[in-house]
Structure 1
Amino acid sequence: MTTPVERTKAVVDTRDFLEMLANAEEVTIRGLLQTVAIGLLRHYPLNVDLDVSASAAPGIWAHPTAERPEGRATCTRVVRLFATRTDE
């Protein structure tokens, strides 16, 4: 069973991943990943939205925690690995 903290972390981490893709200097599939990421981010909730949702529905959402720079480094490594494999 997914807890409110796990659910919120998944949403925040996914948003961070999409932001990283949207701001990437190098895109392997001629802008496809970046275009999709920008489209998804247009309506993706911000931490303030999650915070309001957590106050209104604490059984579904948890208040987001501070951003973790080490999480972004992990996403960057995954994207670089993916880019390397698809370019071969």
Structure 2
Amino acid sequence: MTLPYERTRSVIGARQLLIDLAAASDNADLEKFRALSRRLLRHFPEPIDLQLSAGFAPGIWADPDATGDA
């Protein structure tokens, strides 16, 4: 079970991962990024989490089914 603080930490960590990947050199340690990605994905929001969040905060989240990306 993922707790709210774990989910929040995962979203924040995923943002930082994307920043780090964007700034990485061609010699970046791919295994480091893979390991971090696995840790972040463990608590990353699922589509149902986003659907519920969209219901409570439609100004912040959109229902993933409505975006066509889910």
Q: What TM-score, normalized by structure 2, do the two folds share?
A: 0.49
The answer to which structure, 1 or 2, has the higher relative contact order (CA under 8 A, 6+ apart) is: 1
Q: What TM-score, normalized by structure 1, do the two folds share?
A: 0.41
